[in-house]
């Protein structure tokens, strides 16, 4: 959310700078009005958009994830381990101070607008002098006020007779143009985005523009010089209400006179508005870049989590929590009868237990700024005791804090499979947040991203991709990429021996993560394989070694190594 707000404010600032330096002095008042009304909303919308084409224009710094290769008949199944997320906190109830601060700001903004309405309501209580074509004209006693709110014009009784007609002409334009709607629109934005100073600047700009529009309409029927001399000579008063149009606004008088003296802008000046096209394209590319970075991080995290989850094989007959016939029973869940109820109860109890027992304060000194995740695997043994199977975090200290929680788990009623007690595997991500200003410790080597000191280029960004045999006739890089993906998928499907892999696989879907490189000679080299057992890794390695030699990829006109990440998925049945 913070990143979104920063993007919105940055985009609005750019739009305002364009207006102030290029458009404000032009006499294309209707164009400027729409510009000021639309650009705040455009700035609010752009960060929420997703453009795959623009995203692809931005370099990806991670390995490209090729489509998963499904071997044999597959069907969606539950994950091998439960993935209940626990948001750990130091207390049972935690106040969201950011939401509290935002709500407080909205509350005070509402109080301010109610106060402005109270002032306006007092004006409405004065007597109506006349009603012209649905437009009320209200006389305000002991005042030389002149302002408009929707279809109502307020005129002070101290205004001179010779001034009133010109003032009425001016205010009538505000009514016909519905300028009050513009101001209320910005009042709403000020309530929702009270912390954004640029909304207040936008409202000031459009209030000034409203006066320019009305003045331009009046001088079509009145001598220009006479009109702006009246602005200089008239005594005036104003009300502190930001959603009414006021004729006598001292801070605007000089600007209005200067604009009245300007000649009409030349038609060619309208081309200035075309700057919006490249400006918005740059904004969209920035948004795409931000999303690409985020998506890349999320992908790396998923790969890391998957790799971690698959590091322990199931050689002792342990059954994943997701598919256990009779789930272990956490203390307090004994009265429930169905397996699904006991699973739900256990997940809730574990969430509550970790939330209560994980010491966030002890973990913070070793955490990274922002959201931190600790991946915990444990096993509920046949006697109901809990045994840690593995912990993965950004530092050993965080792993130790998670380990302390696992060691505190109470003894449970063991799970059962085929009527017999069985060990049950459970995977638990623990999530907690640390303020952005927190100074982070160095990340441990075990979770650092793979560095690329050899100069190899990811498949996603290489200038010319390697050419798989059979793809030589294709001219474009994108076509060769697509062809290569299809060829590799077909090759792995044909050559991976599912029947040889099944004895070493888990029930349901199995994934093998293969990282490979096509070197400068076009030869395929293994960079790393991760699966739930060494035997599955070996089966994937056999396929890797059968991949044919390819035409090497090129970067800047020179042969280069190209990196891939290839997940292989197959179903071993139940």
DSSP per-residue letters across 402-469 = HHHHHHHPPP-BPEEETTEEE-EEEEEEEEEEE-TTSPPPPPPGGGSPPP-TT--EETTT-SB--B-T
The b-or-e profile of 266-276 (16+ CB within 10 A means b, else e) is eeebeebbeeb
Contact 528, 437 (CB under 8 A): no
Mean pLDDT computed over every residue of the chain:
79
According to the model, what pLDDT value does residue 187 have? 95
Q: Is 153 helix (H, G, I), strand (E, B) or coil?
A: strand
Please check whether residue 548 is in contact with residue 494, taking contact to mean a CB–CB distance below 8 angstroms: no
Q: Return the closest-CA partner of residue 417 out of 323, 481, 347.
A: 323
**Residue 464 phi, psi dihedral angles, 5° rounding:** -130, 115
| Exposure letters 280-304 (e unless 16+ CB within 10 A, then b) | beebbebbbebbbeeebeebbeebb
Note down pLDDT in tens along the chain; length 574 residues. Answer: 777 899 999 999 999 999 999 999 999 999 999 999 999 999 999 988 865 444 444 443 333 444 444 444 443 333 333 444 444 444 445 577 888 999 999 999 999 999 988 988 888 888 777 887 789 999 889 888 888 999 999 988 888 877 788 888 899 999 999 999 999 999 999 999 999 999 999 999 999 999 999 988 988 888 877 777 777 665 444 455 565 656 656 667 778 888 888 888 999 999 999 999 999 999 988 887 765 454 444 444 444 444 444 333 355 677 777 778 888 999 999 998 888 888 889 888 888 888 888 888 888 888 877 777 787 888 899 999 998 777 877 778 888 888 898 899 999 999 998 889 998 888 777 888 877 555 545 444 433 333 344 567 777 667 889 999 999 998 888 889 889 888 988 898 889 988 888 888 888 778 787 888 899 999 998 877 877 788 888 998 999 999 999 999 998 889 998 887 777 888 877 6
Can you point out the beta strands (E) in 150-305? Answer: 152-156, 245-246
pLDDT given at position 236: 46
Which residue, chain included where needed, has tokens 């790969």? 303
CA dihedral for 245, 246, 250, 256, sign (positive or negative): positive
The 3-class secondary structure across 78-114, one letter per residue, is CCCCCCCCEECCCCCCCCCHHHHHHHHHHHHHHHHHH
Angstrom distance (rounded) from CA 298 to CA 309:
16
Instruction: Report pLDDT for 56.
Output: 45
Strand partners, 564: 516
CA distance 260 to 395: 67
Digit-coded pLDDT (tens) for 283-296: 988 887 765 454 44
Tell me the pLDDT tens digit for each residue of 468-522. Answer: 999 999 888 888 988 988 898 889 888 998 888 888 888 877 878 788 889 999 9
What pLDDT does 251 receive? 66
CB–CB of 169/221 below 8 Å?
A: yes
**Token code pair at residue 532:** 């739930």
Pairing of strands 370-380, 319-320: unpaired
Write the pLDDT tens digit of every residue in 377-389: 888 999 999 987 7
What distance in Å separates the CA atoms of residue 34 and residue 31, rounded to the nearest whole number? 5
SS3 373: strand
pLDDT at position 344 is 87
pLDDT at 240: 55
What confidence score (pLDDT) does residue 51 get?
Answer: 54
Residues in the chain: 574
The span from the CA of 570 to the CA of 48, in Å, is 36
């Amino acid at each position: 959310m913070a990143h979104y707000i920063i993007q919105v404010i940055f985009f609005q600032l750019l739009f305002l700078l364009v207006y102030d330096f290029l458009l404000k002095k032009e006499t294309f008042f209707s164009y400027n009005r729409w510009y000021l009304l639309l650009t705040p909303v455009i700035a609010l919308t752009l960060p929420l958009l997703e453009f795959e084409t623009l995203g692809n224009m931005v370099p990806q710094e991670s390995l490209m994830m090729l489509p998963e290769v499904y071997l044999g008949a597959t069907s969606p199944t539950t994950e091998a381990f439960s993935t209940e997320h626990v948001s750990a906190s130091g207390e049972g109830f935690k106040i969201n101070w950011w939401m509290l601060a935002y709500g407080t700001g909205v509350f005070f903004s509402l109080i301010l607008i109610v106060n402005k309405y109270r002032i306006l309501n007092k004006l409405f209580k004065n007597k109506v002098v006349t009603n012209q074509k649905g437009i009320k004209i209200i006389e305000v006693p002991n005042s030389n006020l002149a302002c408009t709110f929707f279809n109502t014009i307020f005129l002070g009784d101290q205004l001179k007779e010779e001034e009133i007609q010109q003032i009425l002409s001016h205010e009538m334009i505000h009514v016909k143009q519905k300028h009050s709607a513009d101001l209320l629109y910005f009042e709403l934005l000020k309530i929702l985005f009270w912390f954004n100073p640029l909304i207040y600047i936008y409202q000031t700009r459009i209030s000034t523009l409203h006066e320019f529009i009305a003045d331009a309409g009046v001088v079509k029927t009145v001598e220009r010089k006479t009109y702006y001399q009246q602005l200089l000579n008239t005594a005036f008063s104003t009300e502190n209400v930001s959603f009414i149009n006021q004729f006598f606004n001292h801070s605007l008088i000089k600007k209005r006179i200067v604009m009245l003296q300007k000649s009409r802008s030349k038609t060619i000046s309208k081309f200035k508005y075309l700057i919006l096209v490249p400006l918005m394209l740059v904004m969209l590319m920035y948004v795409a870049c931000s999303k690409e970075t985020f998506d890349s991080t999320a992908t790396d995290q998923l790969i890391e989590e998957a790799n971690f989850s698959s590091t322990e094989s199931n050689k002792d007959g342990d059954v994943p929590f997701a598919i256990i016939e009779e789930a272990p029973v956490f203390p307090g869940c004994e009265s429930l009868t169905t397996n699904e109820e006991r699973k739900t109860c256990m997940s809730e109890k574990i969430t509550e237990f970790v939330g209560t027992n994980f010491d966030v304060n002890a973990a913070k000194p070793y955490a990274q700024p922002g959201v931190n995740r600790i991946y915990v695997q444990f096993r509920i043994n046949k006697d109901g005791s809990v045994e840690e199977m593995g912990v993965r975090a950004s530092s050993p200290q965080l792993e130790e804090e998670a380990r302390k929680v696992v060691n505190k788990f109470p003894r449970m009623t063991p799970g059962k499979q085929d009527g017999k007690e069985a060990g049950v595997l459970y995977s638990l991500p623990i999530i907690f947040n640390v303020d952005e200003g927190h100074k982070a410790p160095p990340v441990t080597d075990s979770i650092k991203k793979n560095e690329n000191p050899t100069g190899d280029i990811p498949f996603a960004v290489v200038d010319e991709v390697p050419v798989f045999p059979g793809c030589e006739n294709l001219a474009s890089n994108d076509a060769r990429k697509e062809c290569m993906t299809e060829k590799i998928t077909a090759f792995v499907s044909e050559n991976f021996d599912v029947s040889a892999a099944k004895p070493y696989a888990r029930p349901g879907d199995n994934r093998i993560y293969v990282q490979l490189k096509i070197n400068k000679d076009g030869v395929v080299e293994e960079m790393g394989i991760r699966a739930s057992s060494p035997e599955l890794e070996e089966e994937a390695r056999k396929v890797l070694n059968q991949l044919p030699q390819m035409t090497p990829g090129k970067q800047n006109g020179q042969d280069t190594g190209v990196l891939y990440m290839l997940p292989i998925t197959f179903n071993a049945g139940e």
